[in-house]
Amino acid sequence: MTRIEDLDTPALVVDLDIMEANLRRVQDYCSAHGIGLRPHTKTHKSIGIARRQLALGAVGLTVAKTGEAEVMLGAEPRDLLVAYPVIGDAKVRRLASVAAVLGSKGKVTVSVDSLECARRLSDAAVSAKVQLGILIEVDVGLNRVGVSPSEAVVFSQAVKALPGLEWRGFAFYPGHIKSQDPEKIAALSRTVGDLRNDFIAAGMPPEIISGGSTPALFHSHEVEGVTEIRPGTYVFNDLNTVAGGACTLDDCAAYVLATVVSTSRPNQMIIDGGSKTFSSDKLSSGGPGHGRIMEGPGALFHKMNEEHGFVDMTNAERTFQIGDKVRVIPNHICVVVNLHEYVYGARNGVVEEVWRVDARGKLQ
């Protein structure tokens, strides 16, 4: 039996009670509103957690990269969405192979925003004798990828004409809605609803209208026509999720357990994690700090080198000694998980599960 305090640090620990409540809360919300939940696995990158999401009722999984799709075959999803324009000869071939491996047990779908990308996928699908699902990626205001809503129907018709592809509908990513913002959500609903009507008028009712990320998750039912959402962060949550109002600090399941390794400077302690443990992602609100120290939130984790965390103790509630351990809730959990080999799931102080971060570094 390994107790949390026996873990070698820095270690990424997940409170299983909180994680399970997070998973249930979002699945229950989706089920209550008849919305499919297709979790983005970018946050946990672990087959074991993906299996748990599917067992609770997720309709499928989302990945960003082809390498992640290959890994997530291990979770045996019935419907796997690559929410990324898959560009490159090797990548489209590999993705067609993923579809071949899934075979009749499931479907592989890609969200695309260019005919160039769709043509390559079509060629690869025909060569591999598979069908690839296609969602048209529509830009709803983030200005990242996606065709404009006015181009979506014509683009979809061009995609429909390509062999080996099955057009299934459209996807959007409202990453510009960082928190609960009724006006932005209403505008999004108008855009999505109008687009759905355009497709229906064109004789192409979408099977899938895929939206949603964690920040405005619980407003997904207010967006007209949405059939599924793709949140990732909700499994663990982080300080950014708290700041955006989609959860409270008590809903943050993941923290880095770190050790105080030096107190040689007055009013300062050094912990054994820096940018290679926490990433350099700042709070999306622009606030200071690289994480919240649960044992004394007045202690400001204000600066990092690669393996050193600098904590200003001027306003700390208590003192710490060399060897003391602290729990740090990170700003942005998705990039933190990607830096760790393992995630330790704990309950009542005891490590119950260890997940390998299977898709860590699967960039291609």
Residues binding its own copies (CB under 8 A): 6, 8-11, 42, 64-65, 84-85, 87-88, 90-91, 113-114, 116-117, 139, 143-148, 175, 259-265, 268, 270, 272-273, 275-277, 279-282, 305-308, 310, 321-323, 334-335, 338-341, 360-364
**How far apart, in whole angstroms, are the C-alpha atoms of residue 312 and residue 160?**
59
CA distance 70 to 91: 11
| Shortest separation between residue 331's beta carbon and its own copies, angstroms | 10
Name the minimum Å distance from CB 183 to its own copies.
23
| Cβ closest to its own copies, residue 262 vs residue 315 | 262
Nearer to its own copies, 122 or 279 (CB): 279
Q: How far is the CB of 124 from its own copies (least distance, A)?
A: 14
Looking at beta carbons only, is 10 or 106 nearer to its own copies?
10
Give CA–CA dist 304/294, Å, rounded: 18
How far apart CA 299 and CA 312 sit, in angstroms, is 6
Distance CA 63, CA 188 (A): 23
Tell me the torsion sign for CA atoms 180, 181, 184, 185: positive
Let me know: does 228 contact 35? Beta carbons within 8 Å: yes
Where do the DSSP E strands lie in 212-349?
228-229, 254-262, 268-271, 291-293, 300-304, 309-312, 325-330, 342-347
Residue 116 Cβ, how far from its own copies at the closest point, in Å?
5
Q: How far is the CB of 348 from its own copies (least distance, A)?
A: 22
Return d(Cα 58, Cα 50) in angstroms, integer. Answer: 9
Q: What tokens does 331 get? A: 């700003």
Q: Which is nearer to its own copies, 227 or 344 (CB)?
A: 344
Sign of the four-CA dihedral 232, 78, 17, 42: negative
Nearer to its own copies, 32 or 90 (CB): 90
Question: Residue 213 or residue 227: which is nearer to its own copies going by CB?
Answer: 213
Q: How far apart are CA 363 and CA 338, in angstroms?
A: 11
Tell me how far, at minimum, the Cβ of 143 lies from its own copies, in Å.
Answer: 6
Strand segments, DSSP code E, in 29-184 are 36-37, 61-63, 79-82, 107-112, 132-137, 165-171
Nearest distance, CB of residue 138 and its own copies, angstroms: 10
Q: Which is closer to its own copies, CB of 102 or CB of 138?
A: 138
Q: Taking the CB of residue 225, how many other CB atoms lie within 10 A of it? A: 18
Q: Is 224 helix (H, G, I), strand (E, B) or coil?
A: coil
Residue 57 to residue 62: CA distance in whole angstroms: 14
CB of 298 to its own copies, least distance (A): 20
Q: Which is nearer to its own copies, 35 or 170 (CB)?
A: 170
Shortest distance in whole angstroms from residue 310 CB to its own copies: 7
Judged by CB, which is closer to its own copies: 26, or 136? 136
Distance CA 308, CA 325 (A): 14
